[in-house]
Each structure stands twice: as structure tokens, then as C-alpha cells.
Structure 1
Amino acid sequence: MTLEGMEFIRRFCMHILPSKFVKIRHYGILSATSKKTTLPQIKSLLPEQSQIKKAPEEPRELNEFKPGICPYCKTETMLTIEIFFKRGPPVSFLKNSA
């Protein structure tokens, strides 16, 4: 979608607050004035670390998942084309764009 210059400026100006208006970023239990009183109350209501149940090492679904087997036809027809890292674009994309 392409916007004309004046339409872009109009839409951009809709995000500008009027004078003497202030954005409130944190309110409620996260406000700076109430953190000192509410956070200790919240922590007292939470269970202790020893009472928290730990998750199993591997979820059940991961044990049953086999990457080479198609989930629909149940045959070994799936091939790994590329493995993505946790962050950023694929390495092959970086090589092609340089």
C-alpha cells in the first residue's frame, strides 16, 4: 500500500498528543508510586519456590515427534531443507543478499 505525502502526514499526526497531555506508561500495580506497597503483597501471595512444580525435562509431544515422518501420510518423505537459528534470518539469506 502506498500513501501520498499528505495522507501519510495526516495519519502520523493522529498519533501526536495535544499539548499538556501526558502518556501514562505504567499504572496499577506497575506504577512507580504503588510498587513499594503492592509488590511485597503480591510476593506474599505467591507460593514458595519449593512448592512450585517443575515441568518435565521434555514435553510429551516432543518425544512422539519424528521430523522425517509426514504427519499426514505417515511415510518418511520429509526432508530437512534448512535449519533456522534462534534469532535472525537464515544464513543462506544473508549470503544471497550481500
Structure 2
Amino acid sequence: MHGNDQSVVRHAGAAFSADMVKTVEEAANTLQLPHKQMISGAFHDALFLARVAPAVMIFVPCRDGLSHNEAEYVEPAHAVTGARVLLQAATVAAS
């Protein structure tokens, strides 16, 4: 067989913890960073984690909007910003 062989896997979605989402939003607000809630159709470990524990994901912009792709690239400054939000949220969640 020649060509592009692709498989499609379907899993039921999972809702993230409203408290964790709020904590991340408040972290972004504290750091005076723009943010928005998004629905992700991507397959992440968090999909399964959310079924057994509070979970949330933090996304940062990718160049040209490409993610889950060999050409994906995140500017280092965007990665640092995402890490700052994670640290702020984790600090609040741990207190």
C-alpha cells in the first residue's frame, strides 16, 4: 500500500475542574495577561487525568497557529509567560 495511512481515534471529552480553570484565569489576571477559555479537541494526558483528578491546561500561542505539527514553534517569551501563569496558579492552589 502506498500513500498516507491514517488512523482516527475517538474518545469522549472531559470537563476540566471549574475551580482549576478559575485559578488559572485569576493567575493570568494577577499577572495582567490577556487570556481566554478554549475548547481543545487535541488528545492530551489531561483528557484522562480530568476523569480522576482536578485538571486544567494552559495554552500559549504557536507561530502561525500550528500545533501538534512538526512545524510547531513557541517563542521562548510565550513559553516563559505560560510558565509564569502555571507558577502563579500552582502557588495559589497550594496555599
Smaller-chain TM-score bracket: under 0.3
TM-score, normalisation: structure 1: 0.22
Q: Which has the higher contact order (CA 8 A, sep 6+)?
A: 2
TM-score, normalisation: structure 2: 0.23
Instruction: Name which one, 1 or 2, has greater alpha-carbon Rg.
Output: 1
